[in-house]
Structure 1
């Protein structure tokens, strides 16, 4: 009689750019037998949150580019999780790519990887859309191939999981050979999770993807538009109905709200919010930015990407919530251009617009209920 196979020891995981612990929480949710042996980040605020949620994990407040090969080797890790700085690749940034000093740490990792005494079995990288066409990404692929990794890239959004928030991101997973992927595709990016029972995988070739990243398309995506560039151009020529909305914009949002595969915003709202007053939008912001706010209701099934400036800035930083469920948005903005500022403010106040709370944003980003934002997040609104 054969003896049962001994259980494998947990994977030793190195978490680079650990931030507030999003990768760590995802690792826990995956139910993979793994232990984060070290987390590395220099952001002091993020480190406070990380330590509060993972007090038993070794957290190293050090620059990655300041770490030597010997220091990495001593950690003896099997897997790397990392989300390098996205500013060099984001569409609204300077797009300096590898010329941006913030890529220095990532390039250091690529330099270190071939020189490690033990090659990690697995690597997971996350970054913004735009990274897939960067020189930094080309350097990553060259390093992976030279180190005998097989890899697969994805462009995925929380909407893929039914979460009503558009946050398109680039992911790459790599396995040290001879491990491979059963859904391996070469020079292609999967745009949804692979289905082993389906051959109808939606693929985007990297070469054709370059052609679609036009300036107009990028601007539309920043405003949570997932339509093609042709639709964007035709909508631009339509008559404005209210706010800055054309019939095309309204129809697109209605289609999103009618998509039953998405959960409603109300499923992600903070229960028992005692005092919402710190989150209500100040009157001066309402008057100045009313026409460009992305306003969603509790029964909507969509919201735009939240950015670092949310709560401090209004334009392009994320959706705001209409808490007055019995007030129609279109009626509030009727004849908006012809009334006085006092009348505008009276109309806008009927909507009871507020920012999403830190807990609600965490919910929309997939953080579990036991994630604690600690006091540091509240500084944004106090």
Structure 2
């Protein structure tokens, strides 16, 4: 029997290639025929990783004819999240950063060869936006079935708290294996069983429960000594932002300076190698202290202690250090093999990975 040709895939908002890497890891026979991203640094990393430079430019300039020429079977889309974040203005489709995604939805309705499958990813909050309503309306018009999820790496045993919205869409002629959850928003896919006592209909999982089944952070660190020193880095000239604390100090390694701990230690999210959770890393990690990511205890033979029980003198003894792309990349992509470019600053890589 002749092997069918691989799916032709378009990757929108490609960043450094997380979607492409996941697609390759899935084992599906597929070929990314084009990627699109406006960020030149992200495209540099993408090209380094995959030998293919994405089409750089504003997606809003694309036409239905431009997309028809690829005759792609599937589209991967991770549009800008800023219009939907809980910390943002939540302007949804009125935010200029949402315009390109809305343009893509409009183009789909005018194409001669629209995609047969879509995979859309975004922040929690997208699911209650008017952009989400437009997405479902377009997919319904084009006779797609949808299955929607809010999932976190914690549900897959990865100690990283980062819930995200996902939408799977297929044209009606291509059935989902479990059609009973079509047109539903679930917080646990029915195929996922982390606990044998949990029923398949238990769609709302508590993160504290998930922590029990997570692997410790230690399992996701590089093999080097946890307390080692790495490349030098200078951090300075950062301005204060909403409820954030700028790191205005220079350091010759990734150790958290003592003066920073003394001033802002109580605001840090401190994790141990044995911890089974760390908070979400953001693009402001390594620039601001509060709410941007966790810091790691490197002093050995210390048992985890709740931060509220730590005295300041104890904080100084923890040997706190920042996560780096080498240490944190498994949290970003749930994989140890993702090849980061060594030519870019760590915070740039984390920004696009996270």
State the TM-score, normalizing by the size of structure 2. 0.83
Map 1:137-148 onto structure 2 (within 5 A).
Answer: 137-148=132-143
5+ unaligned residues in a row in structure 2: which ranges? 231-251, 350-354
For the Cα contact (< 8 Å) 2:145–2:183, is it kept in 1? no
CA separation of 1:72 and 1:279: change in aligned 2, threshold 3 A: same
Q: Computing the radius of gyration over CA atoms, which structure comes out larger, 1 or 2? A: 1
Q: Do the aligned partners of 1:113 and 1:119 also contact (CA within 8 Å) in 2?
A: yes
The aligned runs of 1:166-205 (5 Å cut-off) are 166-184=161-179, 185-195=181-191, 200-203=200-203
CA-to-aligned-CA distance 1:148-176 (integer Å, 9 cap, x gap):
11110011111111001011000001011
Q: Does 1:316 align with 2:291?
A: yes
**Distance 1:275-1:71 versus aligned 2 partners, 3 A rule:** same
Deviation at 1:186, TM superposition (A): 4.5
Is 272-281 or 350-359 further displaced after alignment?
272-281
Structure 2 CA distance for partners of 1:370 and 1:330, relative to 1, 3 Å: closer
Residue 263 in structure 1 maps to residue 263 in structure 2: no
RMSD over aligned Cα, in angstroms?
2.5
Q: In 2 relative to 1, CA 334–163 (structure 1 residues): closer, same or farther, beyond 3 Å?
A: closer
Distance 1:173 1:291, change over 3 A: same
Q: Secondary structure at the match of 1:290?
A: helix
Q: 1:340-379 residue pairs with structure 2 within 5 A?
A: 344=312, 346-365=313-332, 366-378=334-346
In the alignment, the residues of structure 2 paired with residue 109 and residue 94 of structure 1 have an alpha-carbon distance, to the nearest angstrom, of 23
Q: 1:370 to 1:101 in 2, by over 3 A?
A: closer
In the alignment, is the contact (CA less than 8 A) between 1:79 and 1:122 conserved in 2?
Answer: yes
TM-score relative to the length of structure 1: 0.78
After superposition, residues 57-72 of structure 1 pair within 5 angstroms as: 57-72=52-67
**2-side partners of 1:196 and 1:298: how far apart?**
26
| Consecutive unaligned residues in structure 1, runs of 5 or more | 205-224, 228-251, 337-343
- In 1, Cα distance between the equivalents of 2:315 and 2:199? 50
* Alpha carbons of structure 1 residues 350 and 333: separation in structure 2 relative to 1, 3 Å: farther
Give the Cα separation in 2 of the matches to 1:264 and 1:334.
21
Partner of 2:229: 275
CA distances 1:80-115 after superposition (whole Å, capped 9, x unpaired): 001000011011111111111000100000110111
Q: Which of 70, 92, 95 is the aligned partner of 2:87?
A: 92
Once the two structures are superposed, the pairs formed by residues 17-28 of structure 1 within 5 Å of their partners are 17-28=13-24
In structure 2, distance between residues paired with 1:377 and 1:226: 35
Deviation at 1:329, TM superposition (A): 5.8
Tell me if structure 2 keeps the 8 A contact 1:114–1:147.
Answer: yes
